[in-house]
Amino acid sequence: MTTRRTAFDELNPRFGNYIREHIYGEIWERPGLSKRDRSIATVAALTALYRTNQLRGHLKRALDNGVTREELIEVIEHMAYYAGWPNAINAYEVAREVFKDA
């Protein structure tokens, strides 16, 4: 799998390589879950952890992997009950930006 260069490549090419080879190579290419399902799980986790910067990119990736906007909205709402309302509100703000640009 070829992935785009990361923001880390300029500062630490080795770290960018770890991301490409291990996360997007080994982890995302494992056969146990579809990329669509991995995207849903990742968006849920990043919402729960309040990881705004990473959530932005993974919402875009989720759309590319076939997750609909409506499904992403549902995932975020579901997380409100398990991860807290502030986390969901933050995720909705990020999603609104991503959807506007998509």
Q: What are 76-92's pLDDT values in tens digits?
A: 999 999 999 999 999 99
User: Which pLDDT score, from 0 to 100, does residue 16 have?
Assistant: 84
Structure-block tokens of residue 39? 């995207």
- Comparing C-alpha atoms, which of 79, 66, 61, 40 is closest to residue 92? 79
Predicted confidence (pLDDT) per residue in 28-62, tens digit: 999 999 999 999 999 999 999 999 999 999 999 99
Q: Which of 66, 59, 47, 54 is nearest to 6 (CA)?
A: 54
Report how far residue 77's alpha carbon sits from residue 64's, in angstroms, rounded to the nearest whole number.
21
DSSP code for 11: T
8 A C-beta contact, residue 56 and residue 21:
no
pLDDT at site 84: 97
Average pLDDT over residues 68-75: 98
